[in-house]
Structure 1
Amino acid sequence: MIRQFELVDLVRAYDKNVDEALLNRAYVFAMKAHGSQTRASGDPYFSHPLEVAGILTDMKLDCDTIATALLHDVVEDTVATIDEIHELFGPKVAELVDGVTKLSKIEMQTESMRQAENFRKFLLAMSNDIRVLLVKLADRMHNMRTLGHIKKIEKRKRIAKETLDIYAPLAERIGMHELKDELEHLAFTHMDPEAMESINARLHYLIEESPNLEADMVAALTELLKENGIEAKVSGRIKRPYSIWRKMERQNISFEQLSDVMAFRIMVDDVSTCYRTLGIVHGEWPMVLGRFKDYISLPKQNFYRSIHTTVIGPHNNKLEVQIRTHDMHEEAEIGVAAHWQYKQKAENAEGSQYRWIRELLEILDHTHDPEEFLEHTKLAMYQDKVFCFTPKGELVPLPRGSTTVDFAYAVHTEVGDHCVGAKVNGRMVPLRHQLDNGDQVQILTSKGQAPSPRWDSFVVTGKARSAIRRHVRFQQHEEYSQLGKTLIEKACRRNGLDFSGRVIEEAASVLNLSDADMLFALVGQGTLSEEEILRAAFPGFKEDARNEGLPNVHQDWEQIDDGAIPISGITRGSAVQLASCCHPVKGDRIVGLRVPGQGAEIHTIDCSRLSEFDDRPEMWLDLRWEEGEEDSDAFYTGRLRLEVVNERGALAAIAATVSKTGGNVSNLEIPQRDPEFYVMIIDIEVKDVKHLNDITRALRVSRVISRVDRVLG
């Protein structure tokens, strides 16, 4: 173990103003607090915080951070409290220790929920001080180095997976590539030992085939640059097995197809020499097309800077060459720790380098479900990037596969919420259009626009997905609540009972619900029935009165009085959905069917499916379209069955007829065809039933159409 004076000397080596008293107090306090505790390896537990502190001294971190490393487990694993830490070591160390400490008293149903809640707390602390993350990464590093001492294979794999999912991507995000590589390597060893062994065997064979390749290439590069007047430090390395395995999996290629198993780094004094070196390397050996990346001109989101190119080397092997300055190399190895200013405010955390932390906090604001938050966070943390630009030339880094909606949310949540269209490189594109490197994107917005549930099917960023789902959940809750309130009012009138706020509050109390709004939402959703509410509010309510006044068969539904529930603003994913069997259109006579847990479906009164519910009148809802509501952006989908003459130009004639009458064909199927006639099922977007009837009449007079019928079930 590192002795007390040795730890102080390690810090003094890079910090002449070392707070020796603070480090000594933290050392003694942690040693006494952990006492006789031992780790799975049998070593004294205190050896762990000491090793964590040692890792952080390699990063040249300040005394508060080293003290935090020594104390990071005392609150979680001993009787010590945060108040004691605050009193003995000051508010800053106490804040850092609290940020690293897990939530020890939470009771969750699943391990993933515990993980998500702890990560939520950790993220909030990290956003206040990035040193919380540095301590946590060093803590995880030492735990991974000693993971083999844990006997249960399942536990080792769970910890390894968590490391790959969360901690390695976090290390990459702050530019700590060396630490990230080691975390991935250690985790891969436990996650998939067979794959690790297989790749190691191939690497060993590669080295045996060309034992002098690395040394020869280093010598060749050094001599080449020296001949051209460039002093450089050249080194070679073989990629780690996990990096090789992930690339093989992602690109679905074999080991032999990899072009960068071996990489060489050239470190020079300044940026201009980087580009001179690139020209010399390309002049000596041919480059591999598509394998050049200039991260100096366009740095990664974590500010990683380097030039990457792949060339056909002297032994006819594909070799990756990385060119960077010495400062760039230091930042690439230990990232934020290379330039952290300990005695200043966390100005860096406000800059573009830590924009991703703010994005994670926005996800936290939008997501209340812990497991969903963790899912969105993983999406936001580790994906390959594309770099796009706003019309003003501002750089927006996004995960590969991102759409214009992802871009809109990356610019600002408000821009995403009100996005109606996009131009990419001056050309209008669909919202689901995937972006490429260098695209210039202009987002078109409208105050009347709101996020669509359909967007969730194609966005890829956690920020966009969480914002969309939050809006949809809010919209659904509002609609469920309004529908539930209307249903309870009607049930009270039908049974001659008084409907009032006091009555509903009484029912909510009996059912252990937080408030009336929650009660209404559960009824609208179909989780609770009106009968359950009436029984809770009126103890003497007779269940046999529940169906009084309801029709027994769907043919009688049109005789119901005008107490129908008004329906407006119908969209997929809302509390009341349009049935896909009969495709109701505004203006049709309609009826609703309850869908437990999802609200209700709207059907036309003559939908063939309704006969299945003749003996279940409690499933029926009396609905009507909202009168006088006009929405120029709303459309409905009507379905028609056409019998079409099989001749050239028939489909063009149908499309022209629909277009002239203001409709839009959204889908077309041909279930039957023969030499003379085709049967087509065509979906047409229309404003209302009158619009659909106009299109139907126009199609019937077309020369190429012999028959048109509306599909109702």
Structure 2
Amino acid sequence: MIDPEAERKEILRHYRRLLRYAKPFLKDNDAKIIKKAFNTSLEAHKDMRRKSGEPYILHPLAVAQIAVEEIGLGTTSIVSALLHDVVEDTEMEIADIERDFGPSVARIIEGLTKISGVFEYGSSQQAENFRKMLLTLSDDVRVILIKLADRLHNMRTLDSMPRHKQLKIASETMYLYAPLAHRLGLYAIKSELEDLYLKYTDTETYRDISRKIRQTRSARNKFIKDFISPIETELRRYGFKFAVKGRPKTIHSILKKIKKQNITFEEIYDLFAIRIILDVPLENEKAACWQVYSIITDFYQPNPDRLRDWVNTPKINGYESLHTTVMSKSGQWVEVQIRTKRMDEIAERGYAAHWKYKIGAGIGESGLEIWINKVRDMLENNTANALEFMDEFRKNLFVEEVIVFTPKGELIALPDRATALDFAFEIHTDIGQQCLGAKVNQKLVPLSHRLHNGDQVEILTSKKQRPSEEWLKYVVTSKARSGIKDYLREERKNKAELGKASLKKRLAQLNIAESQATINKLLAFFNVPTVLDLHYRLAVGYIDPRDIKEVIFTEAADKTASRLEPKSFDRQVQKIRGVTSDMLVIGENTSSMNYTVAPCCNPIPGDEVFGFQTEADGIKIHRTNCQEGMELMSNYGNRIIKAKWTDKQELAFLAGIRIKGTDRLGLINDLTKVISNSLKVNMRSITIDSNDGIFEGNIMVFVNDTGHLDTLMHQMGKVNGILTVERFE
């Protein structure tokens, strides 16, 4: 039963909490405006409920709360967050908002309304949506900050959504919103979004790691206390005002480390970072950070390879901090981050805090603004379709950077892994298109040479040089890619004109009219997607004009041509989804269905999976926590098919097992016995590498399902000398 009185109290409690957080920065009329926005939103959503059953108004309140408490935004943003769904869900229009709340709020709401909703209709729509969102970034960055707050609250309340929606929203979050939060410097939000993604796509691993973090909490706190105690004494002796925080790494980053370095949870040395936050005036910041570094290294031995100085050269998103990794008395490596209060606020709250300090300090153009100008530049000069654009954008948005110099000593920031060719395009598209090679630190290098921090680069050009397809392999920046693609597109068009002429000539020889029907028959016969492709292939000789014969245009050819046409997806999908169910059951009368198991994640029965309709290979089955799957779910929501394994499954699936242990005579024999005798498992391959008494091995086996695989791994773990057994993709 719904209790209206209890709900009213709950809503007011959230509203008062919001005001409590906003209070420190409210000016003359602000509280009244916020109250008016709250009442407008309350009235607009009064009959609406969320999927969880709670009153809808709690969502705008929560988004406003995140905007204030976690991003540090002000009154305009609170009002915009409270009203962010009003225009979309009710009769109210932007003009009404402008009349009641002013032009700033109206502009933000308009930006948010443009990018509302999760589009289900294919990727280009979703990508177009993302492009619109970025366009609003150059008008008012608050649009994106509120959108991130909205997405964070949706992820926190994803429990009440149906499973396929959970997967779609979580993948899209991981694909676009988490990296965007990272680039805007919102580390706390980025980390939470990544962890929530994991919670819904790989629940078991998520629970396992969070349990381990909880179990080690008290030992960790004691460790931090002992580690920091001598440093605190010394800092006080020097008269520093400071605070110390110790925080564990996020679940997502722990898992990433386990996979990347192929280690277990117990082997991760820097499970947490210790942060020393200094309260010093702006002009003393640098000196103070280095002085604290010197104090720490008096007590603990630093690892010289792990010193990161983002105090002198902040990251593009404005992040400043000094990181060092030192050896504790107990033989553990510990990461220590040294920063000031100002730096810490920028690190936690990113862009919003950045503005707060910038207005006060009158600092020059920051890395973040340079980045926003680059985004604007990308949007204005982009001729690619929305999907290509999104791909380019992700590649450039979410990477660390290398800092290099021109011959005159100007500093240029490029994404990590950038090459000499990227540098050439960064200077000017014409220089890029005519680039022959480069001199890096006075030495001649090819176009594909990868640049490193501090390189000085001089570009060599020639009027005769022309870009080729090959060049796309050498570049990582979108400016370079679009410069090369524009040239190739133009070149292709010019070539196609020649092909068009030779087609005309051939059809005239055969005495066949150049109609749409004729062209369609040629496209079907040669299996070519577009007319431009047909012309181009004729021009470059992929198709010989002499292969165009009269027989292609006869009745009999129609039947063969129609066989060449790809099967219509929609028919297939209708067939699968059937009248009874919208779920593809794998292994149950699906022999007539054209499905294959995706090689990127090798799912086996028992894994949580989904189906994806490809254009050429029927339906591909992926694991829900597969990296490639994340991209597909995020981009092509309408092609996702819910799928599950049937229990009537006697097929064998290939799975990989990685083992580590101490080498001894007869160990391999014991292992293979477990595999083939006790569990009747067929083994496809085994590779073992032994070094200094420790061995690592990869075994490929055929199993029926995850239960079968778990039993096998459990038995292998019991073999004397085996330390770890885990599945790999």
Query: Same fold by TM (over 0.5)?
Result: yes
The CA deviation at 1:64 is 2.1
CA contact (8 A) 1:168 1:184 kept: yes
Q: 1:230 to 1:344 in 2, by over 3 A?
A: closer
Question: In structure 1, what is the Cα distance between the partners aligned to 2:387 and 2:247?
Answer: 39
1:260 aligned partner: 270
Distance 1:254 1:431, change over 3 A: farther
2:119/2:126 contact within 8 Å kept: no
Work out the CA distance in 2 between the residues paired with 1:195 and 1:149: 21
Q: From the superposition, tell whether residues 76 and 349 of structure 1 become closer, same or farther in structure 2 (CA, over 3 Å).
A: farther
231-240 or 119-128, which deviates more: 231-240
Paired with 1:495 and 1:217, the residues of 2 have a C-alpha distance of 89
Partner in structure 2 of residue 188 of structure 1: 198
Deviation, 1:29, is 2.1
**Residue among 239, 247, 252 paired with 1:242:** 252
2:296 equivalent in structure 1:
281
- Work out the CA distance in 2 between the residues paired with 1:245 and 1:63: 38
When residues 207 and 29 of structure 1 are mapped into structure 2, their CA distance, relative to the original with a 3 A threshold, is: closer
Q: Quick one: which of 392, 396, 421 aligns to 2:408?
A: 392
> 1:202-601 alignment to 2 at 5 Å?
202-207=212-217, 212-268=222-278, 269=280, 270-340=285-355, 352-364=367-379, 365-488=381-504, 491-492=507-508, 495=511, 523=531, 525-526=533-534, 592-594=541-543
Is 1:11 paired with 2:26?
A: no
Q: What secondary structure does 1:44 align onto? A: coil
CA distance in 2, matches of 1:255, 1:468: 44
Evaluate the alpha carbon distance shift between residue 371 and residue 34 of structure 1 in structure 2; reply closer, same or farther with a 3 A threshold.
same
Q: 1:235 to 1:496 in 2, by over 3 A?
A: closer
- Residue 97 of structure 2 is aligned to residue 97 of structure 1: no
Q: Which residue of 2 aligns with 1:675?
A: none
Q: Deviations over 1:605-632 (max 9, x none)?
A: xxxxx9xx6989989xxxxxxxxxxxxx
Do 1:360 and 1:463's aligned partners in 2 also have CA atoms closer than 8 Å?
no
Tell me by how many angstroms 1:194 deviates.
2.0
Which residue number corresponds to residue 200 of structure 1? 210
Change (3 A) 1:276 1:107: closer
Question: Kindly, what percent of the aligned residue pairs are identical?
Answer: 38
Distance 1:457 1:576, change over 3 A: farther
Letter aligned with residue 525 of structure 1: D
8 Å CA contact 1:163–1:183 kept in 2: the answer is yes
**Are the structure 2 counterparts of residues 191 and 443 from structure 1 closer, same or farther at C-alpha, using a change threshold of 3 Å?**
farther
Measured after TM superposition, the shift of residue 70 of structure 1 is 1.2
For residue 294 of structure 1, report the CA deviation from its aligned partner. 0.6
8 Å Cα contact 2:60/2:83 also seen in 1 = yes
Task: Name the CA distance, whole Å, in 1 between partners of 2:474 and 2:151.
Answer: 34
Q: What does residue 639 of structure 1 align with?
A: none
**Contact 2:231–2:299, Cα closer than 8 Å, also in 1:** no
Distance 2:504 2:551 in 1: 16
Deviations 1:526-572 (A, max 9, x none): 27xxxxxxxxxxxxxxxxxxxxxxxxxxxxxxxxxxxxxxxxxxxxx
For residues 19-73 of structure 1, what are the alpha-carbon distances to aligned partners after superposition, in whole Å with 9 as ceiling and x for unaligned?
3443233222222222211111111111111111122222442322221111111
| Cross-structure match for 2:556 | none
Q: State the Cα distance separating 1:338 from its structure 2 match.
A: 1.0
Question: Cα–Cα, structure 1 residues 307 and 594, in superposed 2: closer, same or farther, change >3 Å?
Answer: same
Q: Matches of 2:169 and 2:331 in 1, distance apart?
A: 42
CA distance in 1, matches of 2:16, 2:327: 52
For residue 323 of structure 1, give the secondary structure of its aligned residue in structure 2.
strand
Task: Check the 8 A contact 1:422/1:430 in 2, yes or no.
Answer: yes
* 1:48 corresponding residue in structure 2: 59
* Aligned Cα root-mean-square deviation (Å): 3.6
Normalized per residue, the structure richer in helix is: 2
AA matched with 1:222 = E
Q: 1:162 Cα deviation (Å)?
A: 1.5
How far apart are the structure 2 equivalents of 1:49 and 1:126?
A: 21
Tell me: CA distance 1:60–1:104, structure 2 relative to 1, closer, same or farther (3 Å).
closer
Q: Could you tell me whether the CA contact under 8 Å between 2:502 and 2:538 is conserved in 1?
A: no
> Could you say if the C-alpha distance between residues 193 and 415 of structure 1 is closer, same or farther in structure 2, counting changes exceeding 3 Å?
farther
- Structure 1 pair 576/358, CA: closer, same or farther in 2 (3 Å)? farther
For residues 395 and 165 of structure 1, what CA distance do their matches in structure 2 show?
31
- Matched with 2:94 is 82
Q: Is the 8 A contact 2:402 2:416 kept in 1?
A: yes
**1: CA distance, partners of 2:48 / 2:504:** 61
Match of 1:136 in 2: 147
One-letter code of the match for 1:340? Answer: W
Question: How far apart, CA to CA, are the structure 2 residues paired with 1:349 and 1:167?
Answer: 28
Contact 2:320/2:339 (<8 A) preserved: yes
CA distance, structure 1, for counterparts of residue 98 and residue 237 of structure 2: 60
One-letter amino acid matched to 1:40 = K
Which amino acid is the alignment partner of residue 77 of structure 1? D
In the aligned structure 2, how far is the partner of 1:617 from the partner of 1:457? 41
> Structure 1 residue 486: deviation in Å?
4.7
1:124 aligns with 2:135: yes
Q: Tell whether the 8 Å contact from 1:366 to 1:470 is kept in structure 2 after alignment.
A: no
Whichever residue aligns with residue 147 of structure 1, its letter is: L
Contact 2:270 2:335 in 1 (8 A): yes
Is the CA contact 1:484–1:522 (under 8 Å) kept in the aligned structure 2? no
Q: In structure 2, how many angstroms separate the alpha carbons of the residues matched to 1:322 and 1:387?
A: 22
- 1:175 corresponds to which residue? 185
User: 2: distance between equivalents of 1:314 and 1:271?
Assistant: 28
The residue matched to 2:314 in structure 1 has which SS? coil
Residues 668-706 of structure 1: CA deviation (Å, up to 9, x unaligned): xxxxxxxxxxxxxxxxxxxxxxxxxxxxxxxxxxxxxxx
CA contact (8 A) 2:25 2:74 kept: no
2:46 to 30, 35, 57: 35
Alpha-carbon separation, structure 1, partners of 2:245 and 2:118 = 49
Aligned counterparts of 2:118 and 2:300: Cα–Cα separation in 1 = 60
**Unmatched 5+ stretches in structure 2:** 1-10, 521-528, 554-729
- How far is 1:178 from its partner? 1.6
Please report the TM-score for the alignment, with normalisation by the length of structure 2. Answer: 0.65
**Structure number, greater radius of gyration:** 1
Deviation at 1:416, TM superposition (A): 2.9
Q: Give the match's secondary structure for 1:481.
A: helix
Task: Determine the structure 1 residue equivalent to 2:674.
Answer: none
Q: How does 1:613-652 map to 2 (within 5 A)?
A: none
Instruction: Identify if the C-alpha distance between structure 1 residues 246 and 393 changes in structure 2 by more than 3 Å, giving closer, same or farther.
Output: farther
Structure 1 residue 389 displacement after superposition: 2.5
Change (3 A) 1:493 1:19: farther
Corresponding residue number in structure 2 for 1:640: none
Structure 1 counterpart of 2:74, from 62, 78, 81 = 62
For 2:267 and 2:478, locate their aligned partners in 1 and report how far apart those are by CA, in whole Å: 32
Contact residue 177 and residue 332 of structure 1 kept, 8 A: yes
- Superposition deviation, residue 171 in structure 1: 1.3
**Residues in 1 aligned to 2:506 and 2:330: alpha-carbon distance in whole angstroms:** 84
The 8 Å contact of residues 178 and 333 in structure 1, kept in 2 or not, is answered as yes
| Equivalent residue pairs, number | 526
Question: Amino acid of the residue matched to residue 55 of structure 1?
Answer: I
- How far off is 1:322 after superposition? 0.6
Distance 2:290 2:167 in 1: 44
